[in-house]
């Protein structure tokens, strides 16, 4: 795999002290998972917060959309489609389900700019997602209103599969991933086998940074024009008006699945999956995260880093650079603090019927770790948690597929055991509070698409 080269921050016109200040600010967020900063095409700083690992493919969420956009631009250059093609043209089998005649006006360009007029839920359901899109009435006249909706990008992925005969992930293989030296992760699929398009793609942090650098290069890499330059120039313009959004970096305009920022532009996914491209500064910032406040991380880049950039190399600062390197290599979400021992014995509790389908939980208590084993109708799932450290396992719980999970635990009071679990390839994170006196388990979750269970009572 081709890797990006590194240089000292000063060689790229950045003070190590400025990057150290930025990383310290990143460290206070809840939670950045990883980052990589490029200037002049070289890595000046990178890191990941244990138990996350930037070398593990991470869910991109809506950052996936930008890859679909690029695929559409390439497909147009190959003569497979045109942006002003009506979408229904590619799905004649759906003519009979159209409920709103305005659907016939929707073009690929409308899908790219989130102006299709559709407000179909972003998470489609059932077996026929394409048919569901066309069967729903439109909320707006096509081309008039920005309405962010992941079903638009799913339709683009479906169109690409129709015209190319393959999924977007495979289509981009020889055209994008292989020239960049990227080994792509999975891309989740709909029941019909089409990549979800608007979400579901997984990449390592360096791969996100490479994609950002490709965009910064105008679509060129190693002497090859991978993305048509005319398409990319158009894609990053503010083509759709999103000024009604509340956050300043979400109201600067929307292009072909790219957001215009107060500085530069970006691919953008839920909870802080960013490929931030800053052409004027010749810089790329890639992040994975499970953040609640997305605007906050962009503010830190704008306020701490951008004012400190120089357009020429600076004198070396070995001491501060060494401090920065140490900081980047020792990043960690601190494990829970609290007691590691208790007088409570291991337990097996059965629960009253609940919508999560959880039937029972066995709580095994060891000297330096514990395990929660959940019984569902489909079988058993287990989370192992270390007292004062992260233990690792793989579990599915209430999501659609298994994830690597790192968890820590502590007794926060005499009767209450708390377990914090992080799904380290995605944004999901859970807190379990097991009350041995009340015989209840509470679970609170972060993650848009997970099905959390609330307080569960023992039978």
pLDDT of 290? 95
DSSP bridge partners of 442: 433
pLDDT in tens, 202-217: 999 999 999 999 999 9
Question: What integer pLDDT is reported at residue 133 of this predicted model?
Answer: 94
Residues 6-23 have a mean pLDDT of 98
Q: Is 13 left (phi over 0), alpha (psi -120 to 50) or beta?
A: left
Residue 425, pLDDT score: 97
Cα–Cα distance, 208 to 54 (Å, whole number): 10
- The answer, yes or no, to whether residue 1 has pLDDT greater than 60, is no
For the segment 74-86, the average pLDDT, to the nearest whole number, is 98
Of 397 and 75, the structure prediction assigns the larger pLDDT to: 75
Q: What is the pLDDT of residue 435?
A: 93
> What's the CA gap between 407 and 446, in Å, rounded?
15
pLDDT for 231-265, tens place per residue?
A: 999 999 999 999 999 999 999 999 999 999 999 99
Domains of the chain: 10-329 (3.40.710.10), 347-457 (2.40.128.20)
Percent of the chain with pLDDT over 70: 97
What's the pLDDT tens digit per position in 390-439? 999 999 887 888 999 999 999 999 999 999 999 999 999 999 999 999 98
pLDDT at 449: 43
- How much is the pTM? 0.96
Q: What is the pLDDT of residues 144-200, one digit of tens each?
A: 999 999 999 999 999 999 999 999 999 999 999 999 999 999 999 999 999 999 999
How does pLDDT run across 291-324, given as a tens digit for each residue? 999 999 999 999 999 999 999 999 999 999 999 9
pLDDT digits (tens, 9 = 90+) for 317-372: 999 999 999 999 999 999 999 988 888 999 999 988 877 788 899 999 999 999 99
Cβ 358 vs Cβ 372: under 8 Å: no
Average pLDDT over the chain, rounded to an integer: 94
- The sign one gets for the Cα dihedral 39, 26, 59, 204 is positive
**pLDDT at 18 > cutoff 50:** yes
Confidence class of residue 445 from pLDDT cuts 50, 70 and 90?
A: confident
Q: How confident is the model at residue 454 (pLDDT cuts 50, 70, 90)?
A: low
Helix H or strand E encompassing 36: strand 32-39
Res 451: pLDDT: 56
How confident is the model at residue 253, as a pLDDT? 98
Distance CA 118, CA 150 (A): 10
Q: Can you read off the two tokens belonging to residue 427?
A: 């944004």
| Res. 448: pLDDT tops 70 | no
Contact 177, 183 (CB under 8 A): yes
Percent of the chain with pLDDT over 90: 87
- Summarised one tens digit per residue, pLDDT across range 93-113 is 999 999 999 999 999 999 999
Q: What average pLDDT score do residues 277-289 get? A: 98
SS (H, E, C) the chain: CCCCCECCCHHHCCCHHHHHHHHHHHCCCCCEEEEEEEECCEEEEEEECECCCCCCCEECHHHHHHHHHHHHHHHHHCCCCCCCCEHHHHCHHHHHHCCCHHHHHCEHHHHHCCCCCCCCCCCCCCCCHHHHHHHCCCCCCCCCCCCCCHHHHHHHHHHHHHHHCCCHHHHHHHHHHHHHCCCCCCECECCCCCECCCCCEEECHHHHHHHHHHHHCCCEECCEECCCHHHHHHHCCCCECCCCCCCHHHCCCECCCCEECCCCEEEEECCCEEEEEEHHHCEEEEEEECCCCHHHHHHHHHHHHHHHCCCCCCCCCHHHHHHHHHHHHCCECCCCCCECCCCCCCEEEEECCCCCCCCEEEEEECCCEEEEEEEECCEEEEEEEEECCCEEEEECCCCCCCEEEEEEEEECCCCEEEEEEEECCCCCEEEEEEECCCCEEEEEEECCCCCCCCCEEEC
Cα-Cα-Cα-Cα torsion 385, 386, 390, 393, nearest 10 degrees, comes to -40
Tokens of 181: 């030296």
């Amino acid at each position: 795999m081709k890797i990006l080269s590194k240089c000292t921050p000063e060689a790229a016109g950045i003070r190590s002290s400025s990057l150290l200040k930025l990383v310290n600010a990143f460290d206070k967020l809840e939670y950045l998972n990883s980052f990589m900063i490029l200037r002049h095409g070289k890595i000046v700083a990178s890191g990941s917060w244990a138990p996350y690992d930037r070398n593990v493919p991470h869910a991109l969420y809506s950052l996936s959309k930008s890859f679909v956009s690029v695929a559409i631009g390439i497909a147009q250059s190959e003569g497979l489609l045109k942006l002003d093609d009506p979408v229904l043209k590619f799905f004649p089998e759906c003519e009979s389900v159209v409920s709103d005649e305005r659907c016939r006006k929707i073009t690929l360009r409308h899908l790219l700019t989130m102006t299709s007029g559709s407000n179909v839920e972003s998470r489609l359901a059932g077996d026929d997602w394409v048919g569901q899109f066309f069967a729903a009435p439109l909320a707006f006249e096509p081309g008039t209103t920005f309405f962010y909706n992941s079903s638009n990008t799913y339709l683009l992925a479906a169109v690409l599969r129709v015209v190319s005969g393959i999924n977007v992930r495979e289509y981009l293989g020889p055209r994008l991933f292989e020239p960049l030296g990227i080994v792509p992760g999975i891309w989740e699929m709909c029941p019909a086998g089409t990549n979800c398009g608007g979400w579901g793609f997984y990449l390592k942090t360096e791969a996100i940074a490479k994609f950002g650098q490709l965009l910064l290069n105008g679509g060129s890499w190693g002497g090859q024009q991978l993305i048509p330059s005319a398409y990319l120039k158009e894609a990053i313009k503010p083509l759709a008006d999103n000024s009604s959004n509340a956050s300043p970096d979400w109201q600067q305009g929307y292009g072909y699945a790219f957001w215009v920022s107060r500085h530069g532009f970006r691919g953008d996914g839920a909870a802080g999956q960013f490929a931030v491209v800053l052409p004027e500064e010749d810089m790329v910032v890639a992040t994975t995260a499970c953040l609640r406040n997305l605007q906050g991380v962009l503010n830190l880049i704008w306020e701490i880093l951008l004012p400190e950039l120089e357009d020429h190399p600076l004198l070396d600062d070995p001491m501060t650079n060494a401090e920065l390197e140490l900081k980047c290599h020792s990043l960690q979400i601190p494990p829970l603090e609290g007691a590691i021992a208790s007088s409570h014995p291991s337990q097996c509790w059965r629960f009253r019927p609940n919508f999560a389908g959880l039937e029972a939980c066995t709580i095994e208590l060891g000297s330096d770790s514990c395990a929660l084993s959940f019984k569902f109708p489909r079988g058993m799932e287990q989370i192992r948690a270390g007292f004062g450290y992260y233990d690792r396992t793989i579990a599915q719980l209430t999501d659609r597929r298994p994830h690597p999970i790192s968890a820590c635990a502590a007794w926060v009071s005499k009767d209450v055991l708390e377990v914090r679990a992080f799904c380290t390839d995605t944004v999901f994170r859970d807190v379990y509070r097991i009350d041995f006196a009340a015989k209840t388990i509470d679970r609170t979750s972060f993650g848009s698409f997970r099905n959390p269970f609330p307080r569960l009572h023992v039978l």
